[in-house]
Amino acid sequence: MKKQLLFAALFLLGGLATQAQHVRLNGYTSYVFDDKVDSYYDQSSYYKGTIKGSFFWGAGIEFSPRPFYAIELSYMRQDSHLPDFQYFYNGAKASDVKFANNWIMIGGLRYFPTHSERVEPYMGAQMGMALINTENPGIGGKNSSFTKFAWGIKGGTNIWLSDKVALKLQMQLMSAVQALGGGFYLGTGGAGVGLSSYSSLLQFSLGGGLSFKLGNALATKPATAR
């Protein structure tokens, strides 16, 4: 069902984008900082660890239905791990949990006019889903895959190097709500056993990328501020 909804969203956005005639392709690369996760159920059931900072990359397609406003569908990917991940269930344990996250997001952008047509600041909000995979070698390489609701906010500036290509400078905050649970997702005691509480991901990144205009000039092209 989730895949069907995703394909429907892609089809709808693709159709709207071709009609809007103001389309951009965005490429992203950034660094995600460390994110601590922990959950305390009782004195004999808890876990804690840190998702290490890592490379964050992806792409998006953006179209502008009206001046200074745009809609973007994006995909982002992060590969990391939790070194010395510690949990307590029937005795203290630790392992190096591998972690991969695929973010599929849709959201709106607001561009702001400036005195220069080459500088284009923006802010935006997103929502979608995080497809998370973990592998815990401490319990025989147990793999878990799950999907969680996600949201994000971002802000930055496009610096247009030419009429078609811009350098992006961006900061972004993304969260997967109640993403990591002890009992199943990180394998502290097996499905249905162990921790029953959860920890949300909250990941902050700094970076940028490139933006490419397709077709005519975008309706979001900044006007000279007065």
Condensed to tens digits (0 to 9), the pLDDT of residues 51-104 reads: 899 999 999 999 988 889 999 999 999 999 888 777 776 666 777 888 899 999
Is a pLDDT exceeding 60 seen at residue 195?
Answer: no
Closest CA to 24 of 125, 120, 153, 115: 120
pLDDT for 224 equals 42
pLDDT for 164 equals 93
Give the pTM. 0.78
Phi, psi of 44 (to 5 degrees): -110, 5
Residue whose structure tokens are 């097996």: 190
More confident: 169 or 135? 169
More confident: 24 or 176? 24
Mean pLDDT of 197-204: 75
Q: Which of 124-128, 176-180, 196-200 has the lowest mean pLDDT?
A: 196-200
**Hey, is 19 helix, strand or coil?**
helix
Handedness of CA 78, 137, 134, 178 (dihedral sign): negative
